[in-house]
Every structure is written in C-alpha cells, then in structure tokens.
Chain A
Amino acid sequence: MNMNDHGEIDTLISACLDGCLSDADADRLSRWIEESSEVRQRYWELASVHAMIEQSMQSTSMKAITGQVVVPAPKSGSYFRWSRITSVAAGILIGIFSASMVWAYAVPLASQTQRVSKEIVFESFEDPQMKSPGRFPTNANRWFGGMLSVPGKGGMPAVEGTRLGKFENVSKYRFTYARYVVDLDEYAEPSDEHTRSIEVSGSFFSPDLDPTSVFRIDVAAFGETPEAVQPVWIDREHFDDVVLQQVGRNHSPELSDQPIWHEVKVMMEIPSGARSVVVSLGSGKRAPGGAGSDRYLDAVRVKLVDTFKPRD
C-alpha cells in the first residue's frame, strides 16, 4: 500500500463515517477492509476519532468547544427506554447517567483523579458579525457589553484564530466589560466527593497603555436563574445581600516598549445553591479622565474544575 492509497482509503473511510458512500465505494472499501489489517487499523483510528468527537460534542455543552450558542443534542430515546425497562435500577441510574454525559472523556478515570477540568466556554471572537448588545446579560450563553470582532494585524496578532474582540469605547464609562452568564443547570453536578470551582482566563491588549490602565476579571455566583440576574445586578443597594460569592482581580500591566498581550486568570469556588455565574472581563482606568484608548480581548476561557475532596 502506498501513500496515495492511504489518502484514498482515508477518504473512503471518512465517506463511510459520514454515511455518504456510493455502492461502488462501499464494495471497494469492504474488500480492502477484509483483505488488509492495515486498512482495518486505519478504519479504527479514524472511526474512533469520529465516535469520540460525537460523544464529546453531544455530551458536553458546545460552549466548551466553539463558543457558539448551546444547542442541546436531541435526547436519545434509548436512555428513556432503558430507564423504563429497568425501572428497578432507574433511581440509581439517572444521576450517574447525567454525570457520565457531561464528563465524557474524564469519567473512566474520574474516581481516581484529584482534579478534573472541563472547558465550557471558549471565545476568540472569530465571528465578524458578532453582536453583544446591552451592558449586562439578560440570558445565558451569549456575550454582552458591546464587543466587536476585529481582525488581528501586525503588532497585534490574535492569540487564538485570526480575529479578536475590541471593547466598545464609551467615554462616559471608566470601564467597559464583556459579560457572560453561565447557567450551571446545564452541567451535571459534581459528585459528593468533589468541590466545583470556576476558572476564567482571558488575554488583554492595548497598543497605548498608560500607568492608570487596568484589566480586570470578575466572577460572581447567584442563586437566581440567568434571566433573573440582571435586576439583582443593577440593584446595587441589595447586591451584597444577594450575591453568593464574588471574586475579582485587577491587573495593572507593566508598561513596556512593545505592547504585549496580558493574560489574566481568576478562580472561584462555586458555593452550593448557585444557579448562575456572571463572568465579566473589563478594561479601563483606575482614575477617571484622559482620552480613551483602544482595548482588546482574546482567547477567553471558562472552565469548571472539580477537585476531589474525600469525605471524612
């Protein structure tokens, strides 16, 4: 078998996995599979990739991979049929099913792992049509705050992909933010022996920093649904009574000859009873006044981190 055959075989296997083999190609691939262990090995390598991607994409929030809007996979009828058939075990099974669906490829070793991290949001602002209306999120799984997607360029290359997010420059605000709400109900709860934290990181850039420049990340947990967080957030008088947990980090970048990307990271344990977590990534100045400058954001990652803490 030569390299050209490899390419053709891979193409046929791919077509087979996508269900678009012609009759003639199905015959040809079948023959090769029967005759060659090398072809069988190539089949398994590609087919297992295909199956594993499907598993992970079906079972994990799509935010984890692409930053796109979550579209829940159609529920496989089989789970429900099973649970009807096995009514005796159903009570035990349901909880474990949901856990196994989210932690798709961590499950087999989860019980032995001290720390399991799962990326649930990745945003590199690649969509030129991206719209992030309003200052504060009114629902989960979408960016708010007036971010624009702009192409990277010389001296300001994107950290991930080819584009980056530009903070809207609004002179009346000292800080501008990109905000996002995570709906924790979309993820299976950690086991009793794990505590869950949320980790947020993002890279900030400004071509003309001054000594008062600040980049910041805030994370705040609420018991309210994502849709109900906005009024709580706006009501600053009662905010402290309602927020379950809040962590913020200011990063004052050191001035350098050449502007560089600054990565900022924050981690917060999620308290029990939390339903929504607000993630804010902001850029601004410690002191009011002065001309506003362009600020950029890229490679935003939000991860759920489950840490093993055995009970006494």
Chain B
Amino acid sequence: MNESQDEHEAPTVTETVQLLFVRHENSIRSFVRSLQPSLSDADDVMQETFLTISRKASSFEPGTNFLAWACGIARLKVLENFRQNKRSNVLADTAIIALAEDAPTPELLIERELALEACIEKLAPRMRDLLWRRYSRRQSSVEMADAAGMSSTAVRVALSKTRAMLRDCIHAKTRVAE
C-alpha cells in the first residue's frame, strides 16, 4: 500500500470510536475496577467493552459524551461478567446493579483522577510504600507484612486508612475546585 495515501485516509467510524476508547481507556478502566475487584475479570470486561463499542460504533453520535457512552456499555459488561462468573465472597448482583445505577459521572471520575496525584504526594513515605507494594508489586497482605515488619492485620488496616485519607484529600480538593 502506498504509505502517503494510507496516512491521508480518513479513519472509519469504528476506528474513530476505537481511538476514543484508547484515549479514555484509563477512565473507563477506573470505572470498571471500581465495580470489579478481580483483576482478570476486569481485563475481560475491558475487552468485552472494547469489542462492543467497536461493534456498535455506528450508534455513537460524534460530539456527544463518549466517556459516558462507553461507561454505560462497561457497566452492562460488568453485570454480565458477575452473572457469568458466580464467585463466593463478592457482592450480590442486586448490590452491583444498585451501585452501577449510582455511579459517579465520568467527569467526576476525571476530576478525582486529577486530584489524586497531589494527594499521593502528601502521604508519608511508609504509606506510599504500602501502596506501591499493594498496587504495583501486587503483594499479598502477608508479603507486605513481612516486608514492613507489621502484622497482616495491621497492613490491611493501614491500607484501608491510606485509601480513606486519599478519599478525604481528593474530596477536599475537588470541593475547593467547585
């Protein structure tokens, strides 16, 4: 194929929607992960969402809110996934449906994302270290406890407190922004 011709070819509707998906992938993924604690299930949901938006690309109206449209599809895929993979120790379907209906707007999620970085910077190094072990290295609470010289219960409590501190910080920052 002639390269210069290819460069000037306008993207198809499907390609345009796929590009929008890629551009907003972090926000969509944050939305999915908020509802889906299992990482592998969240990956499946993201894939299914991508396939569905590709298939339904023609139903997206350019100029409207892509993120809201994509999150709407992702929400259905999360529910489908919960129904297909009945797992123990997880929230009931009805609770997931209730949560999905009360989901924050994509704009609010973006606003929180923007506030997060500054809030993480305010954390004590020990707390940042816990986050790094939990979210980057994917260590279990037992592994984290060994590394940090704490009990695994203390690790879970510290993680929970750290997330709560970040939530409060983000809340304060977004409230100021309002």
Chain A residues at the B interface, C-beta cutoff of 8 Å? 10-11, 14-23, 26-27, 29-31, 33-34, 37, 40-41, 43-59, 62, 65-66, 68, 71, 73, 76-78, 81-82, 85-86, 88-89, 92-93, 96-97, 100-101, 104-105, 107-109, 119, 124, 126, 160-162
Contacts and interface: CB of A to CB of B under 8 A. Distances in A.
Contacts of B171: 45
A29 B47 contact: no
Contacts of B137: 71
Nearest to A47: B34
Given A33-B99, A56-B117, A89 B129 contact: no
A114 to B, nearest CB: 15
Contacts of A88: 14-15
Contact of B29 (A27, A33, A55, A77): A55
**Max count, chain B CB within 10 A of own CB: residue among A23, A27, A34:** A34
**Max count, chain B CB within 10 A of own CB: residue among A59, A77, A100, A162:** A100
A71 B143 CA distance: 16
Contacts of A27: 92
Given A29-B95, A52-B116, A46 B38 contact: no
A52 B114 CA distance: 10
**Max count, chain B CB within 10 A of own CB: residue among A15, A45, A77, A101:** A45
20 contacts: A20-B156, A29-B91, A45-B167, A47-B35, A51-B31, A51-B33, A53-B116, A53-B166, A57-B132, A58-B136, A62-B132, A65-B131, A76-B46, A78-B44, A96-B19, A96-B22, A101-B26, A105-B114, A105-B117, A126-B125
B54 A86 contact: yes
A44 B119 CA distance: 18
Contacts of B33: 47, 50-51, 54-55
Nearest to B112: A48
Contacts of A109: 110, 114
Contacts of A161: 124-126
B22 A97 contact: yes
Contact of B34 (A50, A89, A126): A50
Contact of B116 (A30, A31, A49, A77): A49
Contacts of A54: 33, 135
A23 B131 contact: no
B177 interface: no
Contacts of A89: 14-15, 18-19
Given A33-B98, A82-B47, A108 B27 contact: yes
A30 B112 contact: no
B94 interface: yes
A20 B37 CA distance: 10
B118 to A, nearest CB: 10
B102 A40 contact: yes
A65 B37 CA distance: 23
A15 to B, nearest CB: 8
Given A34-B95, A55-B30, A56-B120, 14 more contacts: A15-B156, A16-B90, A19-B38, A26-B92, A37-B102, A48-B104, A51-B34, A52-B112, A53-B131, A58-B136, A65-B131, A66-B128, A92-B11, A92-B19
Contacts of B91: 16, 26, 29-30, 33
A62 B34 contact: no
Contact of B50 (A34, A56, A82): A82
Contacts of A16: 37, 90-91
Interface string B58-84: 000000000000000000000000000
B25 A97 contact: yes
B88 to A, nearest CB: 6
Contact of B90 (A21, A34, A73, A78): A21
Contacts of A11: 160
Contacts of A46: 163-164, 167
Contact of A65 (B14, B29, B128): B128
A5 to B, nearest CB: 14
B121 interface: yes
